[in-house]
Structure 1
Amino acid sequence: MSKHAWLAAAAVLMGTAATGAHAKEFDDRFYIAPMIGGVFADSEGLDAGPLGGLVFGKNVSPFFGLELDLNYSALDVSDLPAENKYERLALGVNLLGYFARDTANIRPFLLANGNLHSVDFLGVGLDGAGVAVGGGALFKLAPRWDARLDVRYNLDFISEKTENNVTVPDDTFYIWTTGLGVSYKFGADPYDADGDGVPDALDKCPDTPPGVAVYSDGCPTDLDQDGVPDYLDRCPNTPKGVLVGQDGCELDSDGDGVPDSLDRCPNTPPGAQVNAEGCPLDADGDGVPDGLDRCPDSPPGLPVGPDGCPLDSDGDGIPDYLDECPNSPPGAKVLPNGCALEGDCRKPRPGEQVDANGCAIDRSFILRGVKFEFDSDRLTPAAREILNEVAATLQAYPNLDVELEGHTDAVGTDNYNLGLSERRAVAVKAYLEGRGITGRRMRPVGYGESQPIASNDTEDGREENRRVELTVIE
């Protein structure tokens, strides 16, 4: 590679380093690195010699570092007597650009160097300046130790000087140097987040509270091996193998995981899940322990049976709190709202007309849960499950025809909502036809936003208005 290409690479390095400088966390400890290596002449002959040096530096961003570099080399020149070797002492500043963060095991870098040097050549002492470009890599050995390898192409600018009847003219000397060393970092490891002395890379418990004694893996000590760290253990000398509670103290007579001193139900049956007080869990608060509760998610406040399930007075499979027809005839096939298509009594909605028995005169049933994808007539998977039940109910009443009504909320224009509701009603009909219901029995109609059953001023109201209804055609 030519010297111009090396300088171009150094310019790219500067841009890379500047780009990485926005990161907030990196290892900025000072380090020192003794180096040994060799020096080689950029010539046709094999001119070489030893090199030794010392580097002192630190990172100033995640991808950028600065170093002070002192090195000495002695180059034997093949066509000159040994006493005329090219001896060079240089003090310089290195600018490093890394291609990986300091957490990487291998960190390649590019290097740019500016230096002042003192050269003894041909018996003439020469002082001047120089530059170098190169690259190398750091290899992680331990939290404080890295191995280092770098190679540089050096340009020493020599001004004409005469000494001891020998004149060295203006020139630029080109030499290669290579070095291998070990760097040591001073100070605390910045990647030990909990400050327990164990680096995060080795720490199995990286969130240990400050001041807690830890093992070599960074986890809190547990001298009695009861599973409770010493700093939380109220009984730090528990005999080996004894069951303990969360405070490290023994005794749990019923084996429910709650120590007897805290257990308000000390005779819980084996295997029962309990709360913090040692009593059987009742997640839905219906008075039936979860271990016996067949419906552990019953809504709060509902009457339930001994099995913990909401009551179903008419035995149609729809619990009373969801049943719009809680007194359906025995054995009647009902819709998902609990209503049979004929011979049943639906609870009236606010403002509806009722008959002498208090039942809604209108034989219209809301198919709750029949929803569509946003701004679409595509049924959701949950809606298809509900329509499967609707199809089974329609099959039980083969002589009844129905109207399938689509309704929307008031968001959007009237014409758009009317069209959307019609498409959705048609989609419901098509799905039911696919489940074996004759198409002539169903009449799809879209009403758009014209027949709200709740306020369109709230999200809950708009949700109510976005619905599909099934009405028996007289």
Structure 2
Amino acid sequence: MLKSWKWVAGLLLLGATGVVTAAGEDEDTRWYISPSIGAVFSDGDFGPAGVLGIGRSINNNFGFELEAGYSELDVGDLPSSTGKYERITVGMNLIGTMGNPSWGVRPFLLANLNAHTIDFLDETLDGGGVALGGGLFIPMTKRWDLRVESRYNLDFISKEGIVPEDTFYVWTATVGARAKFGADPGDDDGDGVPNGKDKCPDTPKGVQVYSDGCPIDLDQDGVPDYLDKCPNTPPGSPVDASGCPFDSDGDGVPDHLDQCPGTPAGVRVDGRGCPIDSDGDGIPDYLDRCPDTKPGSAVNAQGCDISDKDGDGIPDHLDKCPNSDPKIKVGPDGCPLDSDGDGIPDYLDECPNTPPGLKVLPNGCALVGDCRKPRAGEAVDANGCALDQRFILRGVKFEFDSDKLTKPAELILNDVADTLAAYPDVVVEVQGHTDSLGTDAYNLGLSERRAISVKRYLDGRGVSGNRLRPVGYGETAPIADNSTAEGQEENRRVEFRVIGN
């Protein structure tokens, strides 16, 4: 009877296979069933053997098994009916596997501790035993490995008298299978991290990963290095999908460094992300209508200089006459206005509407065809022009109490000579006038000598003396108040009066 149930048990052990499904297990720590069959050897005797193990891998290189085994050894020097050594064991194996799953075929070493019951010579012998062995796991499919194993078994016999010694050794060699059960996560993305541990199971091939299977992200910005175009982003900087710091205004300066984050598109900026201001006036170039303003100048919203030192309403950077009298009306260039373009500013021009092209005297009047503004009390024509054609030669002065022309006066008379040349048929009376200082007779003579001096100079500049009639009027025809120094200065003058043409 003992033999019958032992054989049944042995057949069950040899034929047992199966797959149990358990979701969530990892390839390195999955359970497995391992049935094997083979042969047992001892001192030239041999017989069949079978083992069934249920085990679990703790990691890629270490695991344990609970196993049950059956073997039957024919002892050669005994009758076959009584000389069978039948052995059933229950024990635990510790298994050390070399290498890693990428090796494919993997060698292993085994250490076994067991309890056994032996049926020999119609006696039952109980005891314990140990075994050492090794073998190979050869992958066949994702779930099935071929198992080839050999081990040395040493049994300790507890009942004496039936066998000559209290120890008995056997060798076993088996071939079997290892059937893994539970979900097989595999390594679908091939990154070396099993699916069950892989938090990033779709990592592209060849990408370096951490132990959790996720791509390496050295700057910890949330964008893995293989996608990160800016792999050295400072910690804490918000980044876009490319791993580069956000640049909301697209000026090339990331937001965390941009001191002017709202710069319009296309505007050139400096290292701070602010629009360039070449002249440093506080108005960026893209808004600056006057990009070359001098340093320190006050500017308006358009970046143009509004400094106006002479107060004429024309900013200094446009003012060609920056020291003009603020009481004098000026043109767009900041210089005294010359409405008729004759070269004499309006505030000095006695004929402010001279027709274009006419040559004028220093007072701004042409000798013929012009309209002089009348002085107080002068008669005028229907157009409001002075009837008397008298023209002051402004700036023509003499040395003190002398008829000698000053150097500036000579320069003015050079232009007067050119003007007279433009009117070859005009005959003028050259009038000399003085202030009221001195006697009437002295002033009369001085004024005449001065008129003659002017005629002589003009004659030397090519003006025919026949066209010049010098006359001295002394102090008899003042045009200003002689009681003031300013009035006296105005009364000391030379005038032309047209007397023929």
* TM above 0.5: no
TM-score if structure 2 supplies the norm length?
0.40
